[in-house]
Amino acid sequence: MIDNSGNDYSAFLKGLDLFQFAVLNPQIAMLSFLKVGQQLASQPKKIEDAQQDLLNRLLELQKSFVKEMCNKDDDCIDLKYNNKNEKFEEDAFENNPMMLFARKFHETTSQWLLDTIDSMENIDPKLLHSARFFTKQYIDMMSPDNFPFLNPHVLKETLDTQGENFKKGFEMFMEDIKNGAISTNDREQFEVGKNIAVTPGKVIYQNDIIELIQYEPTTKKVFAKPILFVPPWINKFYILDLNEQSSLVKLAVDKGFTVFMISWVNPDKRYRNKGFENYAFEGLLAALDKIYDVTKSKSIHTLGYCVGGTLISSFLAYLASPLCKKRPKAHIESATLLTTLLDFEHAGDMAIFMAENYLSAITSQMKEKGFLEGHVMYNTFSALKAKDMIWRYFINSYMLGKKPPAHEILFWNSDPTNLTESMQTFLAKDLYRDNLLKTGTLKMFGVPLDLTKITTPLYMVSMKKDHLVPWQATFDSLKLFHDNVRFVLGGSGHVAGVVNPPVKQKYCYWINDKITETAQEWLDTATEIAGSWWNDWFEWIKPMMGEMITPPVIKDFLRNAPGIYVNNKTPEQLTER
């Protein structure tokens, strides 16, 4: 769209569309509230009790607030000027009664809303889940901090800069609208291959879907059996190789592992029909065969992160079937599954965005383009942690006028990849909606996938605060496997808990050799250990890595790591089809 002055607003409109679709869709939210309201209408006593509860809480708030104000040494808060620079003192707004009350009122009413929803009975659990999610979204949105005249830091910054903060904020807002996403970090401070994804290696193989990276050894001897890292194709692989201090790849190489990494292509419309089976055979199987050709090892270990673990598990189930038609040249010795969902019955808040209404909107968008744009997924993931990933930067950037600081993980998080139409449909319908992998009705090239047939040793690690893959849901997956599984629970969330190098001495993890009936029972009887789960994983896999040998020489390669797919580029033979 171009106006009479020659300004192109197409990017701006695209940005607005993405914000509306992926952050808060009022139509879908209201539909959830309407359905819950219809069912709640048949419970008048519950409505009456909820109203009385709100009244009691507000009366209690009024009493406590008046008491708190009256107990202060001064009768009122002095908003005097600072004689030196004629600007308000640091705490003048922080202790303002109006702002204090606004926060208390928001806190009280918000908790009442959530408690009321949680207390509802005889209502579809999925509907309640959806209503609670959208209620939490609006609670975060209506926080007093998000309004300039109720945020003391914004008011002080406005006075100190004479409103310059809003001028800078508006400029950043317009730029983010054009890009279709809220900026969460200073992207100019990072460059893939320069200070991100810098572990030395070579791209030794490439096809339409993957580049295969082999990392250069740093030890005189290495373990005989190599390991293949399979990252999620929703994001770039370098989350496992951020920098020297936070790289699982580098630490594994320094411990004598021969590490290979899949780097997925960022697909466009030409890939619209590339689906889960293609990623399994042209991605995972092709990588395993190439690793065998290079190392001649008859056994290969695998590590999958998020849906990368789902891919490995599904492929193992395919190999376990007597109907399996094609096997890799080497045997998969073990599988490490990082925050991997296999039973999607309790998939957490992500399931909200797999509802039919969202699927319809996504399908119509993909029908035209052939893929789902990466920024849509990025905005969706941000909406799942709106307080931290949206409103925090809304305040800092648009109201305070400050650029976000540089942060490696947030740089990776804002560097998403597209999803092919076939893959998005598979993930949304076959896995999240219909849960076909759990029921054993999912097929790979006509072969039913039965996870119970897998006998490969498994190491499953989940994160206690994971908002994308709830650890209780991954724990439920244990019932699908045999006894040769080690389940570990790490601290923090989906990304920070995984990228937790031992040298940082952050968080902790829990272990329990017993597989209990419920996740809570497992945690109640588990042992908490300080430090990173990386230590436990290395101890678990080391006895299976084989003898120490001379490192394999990287003879033939296409280019240096991190390759070209990670930078959204494709070689000439792919772009000229």
Per-residue pLDDT of the chain (577 residues; tens, 9 = 90+): 444 444 444 544 444 444 444 445 666 677 777 777 777 777 788 888 889 999 999 998 888 777 766 665 444 433 343 344 333 444 555 667 778 888 889 999 999 999 988 888 777 787 888 888 889 988 999 999 999 988 888 988 999 999 999 999 999 999 888 877 788 888 889 999 999 999 999 999 999 999 999 999 999 999 999 999 999 999 999 999 999 999 999 999 999 999 999 999 999 999 999 999 999 999 999 999 999 999 999 999 999 999 999 999 999 999 999 999 889 999 999 999 999 999 998 887 887 777 776 777 778 778 888 888 888 888 888 888 888 888 999 999 999 999 998 899 999 998 989 999 999 999 989 999 899 999 889 999 999 999 999 999 999 999 999 988 999 999 998 888 877 899 999 998 999 999 999 998 889 999 999 889 999 999 999 999 999 999 999 999 999 999 999 998 898 899 999 999 999 876 544 443 3
Listing DSSP states for 399-423 in one string gives IT--PPPP-HHHHHHT-B--EEHHH
Peptide bond into 125 cis (omega under 30): no
6 phi-psi bin (left φ>0, alpha ψ -120 to 50, beta other): left
| Residues annotated catalytic, as ranges | 306
Provide the 10 A C-beta neighbour count for residue 18: 20
278 Cα distance to chain centroid = 24
Strand partners for 201: 215
Count, in order, helices (H) and strands (E) of the chain: 22, 17
Q: What is the CATH number of domain 201-357+418-561?
A: 3.40.50.1820
State how far the Cα of 80 lies from the Cα of 87, in Å rounded to an integer: 9
- Count, residues in the chain: 577
Domain residue ranges of the chain, discontinuous segments joined by +:
10-162, 201-357+418-561
Identify the pLDDT of residue 176: 86
345 Cα distance to chain centroid = 18
Identify the pLDDT of residue 47: 85
Identify the pLDDT of residue 376: 80
SS3 88: strand
Q: For residue 558, which of 226, 220, 213 has the smallest C-alpha distance?
A: 213
Angle of helix 10-22 relative to helix 374-384, nearest 10 degrees?
40
